[in-house]
Amino acid sequence: MLGKTRMALACPSSPIAAAKFVVVGGGIAGVTCAEQLAIHFPSEDILLVTASPVIKAVTNFKQVSKTLEEFDVEEQPSTILEKRFPNIKVLESGVRQLKTTENCILTEDGNQYKYEKLCLCAGAKPKLISEGNPYVLGIRDTDSAQEFQKQLTKAKRITIIGNGGIALELVYEIEGCEVIWAIKDKAIGNAFFDAGAAEFLTSELTSKKSDVIITCKRTRYTIEESEKEASAIASAGNLGSALGPDWHEGLNLKGTKEFSHKVHIETMCEIKKIYHQEEFKQMKKTSLPFPRDCQDKSTDKDTWPVYVELTNEKIYGCDFIVSATGVIPNIKPFLDGNNFMLGEDGGLKVDDHMHTSLPNIYAAGDICTASWQPSPVWQQMRLWTQARQMGNYAAKCMAADTLGESIDMDFSFELFAHVTKFFNFKVVLLGKYNAQGLGLDHELMLRCTKGQEYVKVVMQNGRMMGAILIGETNLEETFENLILNQMNLSAYGEDLLDPSIDIEDYFD
């Protein structure tokens, strides 16, 4: 345990406070990092600087298997964190600038804080297809999700652009509103599925939505009026924390009409142009009706507030557009005057100790780009679970560096493992589940029962490299072990997926 140290301060203007450890960002990565540091150094002040009025806490954490984990996420007032960890001080203000030469951060409220070790966990922002267009919404945090819900109650038709997890969930959850879904790939959910899994799920979109009520595991913290104001200011700059796994469950995603799903998918296209109503009228263009309503290619009789022209030349009118085309790491406030090495995806490059390219500065979660040589069955994805794992590991690395100790790479980076729900199906993704980076030298094995389960394994040289499990397959633990131990499975052939063979017994 270290004694409390106060540094001699050299920043030019007062007041300047100092903490041995400063963490920026009140999302899962930042909060987990601060908690771990607080546990490692109970007599040291940990300063958590965050732009949002609430912080995100992991609750009901459950290690489902060696690498699969499940947890709930709660938005909490920062006082709860400070009560649980009296040595964490939360400061609610955005970081405006980072002066690495002076080991100092400047906050929006005009203060400066010195650090010995800093961890940047400022997350990512939605990549909007069009900035500043009132008809284009991005969903990132509670405020933007609520704004979306508000707009949806008045909508007859919306257009969703993007093919990641957010688009997938939205398309399934929205009821009573026509959805034109434009994706640049051949099949839905490209980041998560192959075409077969996409086909399995697409049929769910056309079948009637089940009436099963999924309980919302996350208890939302309702922000008080005064905090709502602050939250609105923070969200104006897109600074809130990203939402978590069950983000849509507290929201009633219902449009104006009385039907369940009405989704039309336009594949292999992107947005070419967006027209406002007036502009569209002036240009004397025509738009298409909702395809399911009309066999011929007649023009749409309705007028719409906004029109999208796709790269396949089709034009649709709609009430608004949801831009769900991924995120960009939120690095801007930290760049001025600092020569960080950046990844191709625009994140702060971190090494196998979560260390950025600048001294004493670490990064974790959506803001960073993992730049170490990864295990053959792990890849970075900007997900909830990885934000927690990185925040946790970054704190351990900061502690080890402070104490001059060595530290091994955390086991969670051995195997990519993610469990989620899409279209009300449990979905488990393991390792190179989409044969990412394996080239042509791999084979796939499949098992599928329509409406029930979809199992795919990716094999290379007789070894299991990845798997997608949709439905209640109970195969996750066995397959996780087979991927981790890289056992040669050539002898088992297709028995691996034979439903009449109890595979768990095989490998016990």
Cis peptide preceding 42, ω within 30 of 0: no
Q: Where are the alpha helices (DSSP H) in 321-436?
A: 384-403
Q: 303 vs 152, 281, 285, 319, CA distance in Å?
A: 17, 9, 12, 10
Q: Least distance (Å) from ligand FAD to the CB of residue 96?
A: 7
Residue among 137 and 455 whose Cβ is closer to ligand FAD? 137
**Contact between 189 and ligand FAD (CB under 6 A)?**
no
> Applying CB under 6 A, does 255 fall inside the site for ligand FAD?
no
| Segment interacting with ligand FAD (CB under 6 A) among 175-183, 237-245, 268-276, 349-357 | 237-245
Q: Tell whether residue 333 is a contact of ligand FAD (CB under 6 A).
A: yes
Beta carbon of residue 31, minimum distance to ligand FAD (angstroms, whole number): 7
Among 383, 428, 457, 459, the residue binding ligand FAD under the rule CB under 6 A is 383
* Cβ partners under 8 Å of residue 321, min gap 6: 129, 135, 136, 137, 158, 159, 160, 161, 271, 274, 306, 308
Determine which residue in the list 41, 71, 148, 384 makes contact with ligand FAD, applying CB under 6 A.
Answer: 384
What is the distance between the alpha carbons of residues 214 and 223, in angstroms, rounded to a whole number?
24
Q: According to the binding rule CB under 6 A, does residue 29 interact with ligand FAD?
A: yes
For the segment 147-166, give every residue that binds ligand FAD (CB under 6 A): 165-166
Angle at 379 between CA 162 and CA 347, to 5 degrees: 65
Assess 330 for contact with ligand FAD (CB under 6 A).
yes
- Structural contact between residues 116 and 17, judged by C-beta atoms closer than 8 angstroms: no
In the complex, least distance from residue 234 CB atom to ligand FAD, rounded to whole angstroms: 6
Q: How far is the CB of 426 from ligand FAD (least distance, A)?
A: 13
Interface with ligand FAD (CB under 6 A), residue total 39
Counting Cα atoms < 13 Å in the Cβ hemisphere of 456 gives 22
Which of 20, 26, 37, 397 forms a contact with ligand FAD (CB under 6 A)?
26
Residues 341-370 that bind ligand FAD (CB under 6 A): 365-366
25 touches ligand FAD (CB under 6 A): yes
Q: With CB under 6 A as the contact rule, which of the stretches 23-31, 201-209, 460-468, 500-508 interacts with ligand FAD?
A: 23-31
Contact call for residue 139 and ligand FAD (CB under 6 A): yes
Q: Which of 22, 23, 28, 318 touches ligand FAD by CB under 6 A?
A: 28
- 386-415 positions binding ligand FAD, by CB under 6 A: 387
Stretch that binds ligand FAD, among 10-18, 51-59, 399-407, 497-505 (CB under 6 A): 51-59
From residue 263, how far is each of 172, 179, 290, 313 by CA, in Å?
A: 9, 5, 9, 19
Site membership for ligand FAD, residue 382 (CB under 6 A): yes
Sign, CA dihedral 376-382-385-390, equals positive
Q: Does 218 bind ligand FAD (CB under 6 A)?
A: no
CA–CA distances in Å: residue 287 to residues 244, 281, 302, 314: 36, 11, 9, 7
- Closest approach, Cβ 390 to ligand FAD, in A, equals 8
Question: Is the Cβ of residue 115 or residue 307 nearer to ligand FAD in the bound state?
Answer: 115
Contact in structure between 331 and 347 (CB atoms under 8 Å): yes
**Closest distance between ligand FAD and the C-beta of residue 20, in Å?**
19
End-to-end CA distance of the chain: 43
The residue (of 96 and 254) whose beta carbon lies closer to ligand FAD is: 96
Q: How many helices (H) and strands (E) does the chain have?
A: 10, 26
Return d(Cα 479, Cα 496) in angstroms, integer: 10
Looking at 172-282, which runs of residues are DSSP E strands?
A: 178-182, 263-266, 271-276
Coil, helix or strand at residue 471: coil
94 binds ligand FAD (CB under 6 A): yes
Binding residues for ligand FAD (CB under 6 A): 24-30, 49-52, 56, 94-95, 121-123, 139-140, 165-166, 239-245, 247, 330, 333, 365-366, 382-385, 387, 420
